[in-house]
Structures are given as C-alpha cells and as structure tokens.
Amino acid sequence: MSRMYRLLAIAVLASLPLAAQASADGKGRDAAVAITADAPVAEQLANVERALGSEAYSEISMEDKSRVQAAVSRIRNRMGDRERMNQLPEQQRTEIFNDQEVVNTIMTRAKADSRMVCRRERATGSNMNKSVCMTVAQRREAMERAKSLMDDPRRLAPKEMTL
C-alpha cells in the first residue's frame, strides 16, 4: 500500500512543473493588457482604461498613468470613427503603432510590478515562520532602502558622548 502512495506522490510531483509552465505561458488571464492590431481598437482602449484603475495595475506611477492616458487619447483621436487600424493611411498607422508601444510597455511593466509575492520568513529571535506578502515593486523599494541605509556613512560614524 505504501508503494502505491509513493508512486502517486511521484506522479503528482512530476506533473507540477508542467502545470506551472502552462500557467506561466502568459496566454491565460494573467497576461498584461496590451493593444494589438488585429482587434477592434475602441474595445481595446476601453480595456486599457478599465485596467488602469484595477488592482492588477496598482503599482503604476501617476506619471506612467498619465502617459498611458495621453497615448490612448491620441489613438482615439487618430482612429476617428474607424474600427480597425488597417482602415487608416500608413502615416497614421505608424503614429498609432508608436503610441501602442508606449501603452504596451508601460502596462506590461506595471503588471509585473503589481504582482503579489509571498514568502515565509523567520522573525529574528523566533523559530516561528511568518508569511510576508509584498508586491514586486514594494519588495524592490525595501531592498533599495536597506541598501542605501547600509551605504550611509553616517551609520558608522561614532556618536558623541555628552556628560
């Protein structure tokens, strides 16, 4: 009986990397919002605007958010009443493509920075593990802050004694 459990455990463990790879393909619902040339533009612009206010893009800076909104506005103005990019002259398609790249780059980076990562960490002086969850951007900021504190020359300066 224990041999059957061992075989079952091995089969389950062997399938985990395949499941992880399937979910990491980026083609599922975890893919970043992006504008493409093969779908109706108005629908894609509405998706981008909805995503800007969602939790999945919580780490987007105000500067990047305004750049995305400006690019979306320019795309909407250039599209006019047309539904697809292939209905536009070549010059306008090029201008829309440039704005599209701005939107896609910012949204992809913001999606990656907003991803929540949890780690089990042991508190100093304790044997109990505790789950610590932060976004990628928060974790990077904490590491940069810690590094700047370690590099601060005042940290090592001797304190004056007062009598």
124 and 94 share a domain?
no
76 and 148 share a domain?
no
Q: Whole domain around residue 144: which residue ranges?
A: 116-153
Q: Is residue 19 part of a domain?
A: no
From 47, 48, 29, 144, select the one nearest 105 (Cα to Cα): 48
Q: Is residue 162 part of a domain?
A: no
* Sequence letter at residue 77: N
Is the pTM above the cut of 0.85? no
From 154, 66, 61, select the one nearest 113 (Cα to Cα): 61
56 and 125 share a domain?
no
77 and 56 share a domain?
yes
Number of independent structural domains in the chain? 2
81 and 143 share a domain?
no
Encode pLDDT of 109-145 as tens digits: 887 777 788 889 888 888 888 888 888 888 888 888 8
Report how far apart, in Å, the C-alpha atoms of 122 and of each of 45, 129, 132, 139, 148 are.
Answer: 45, 4, 10, 17, 23
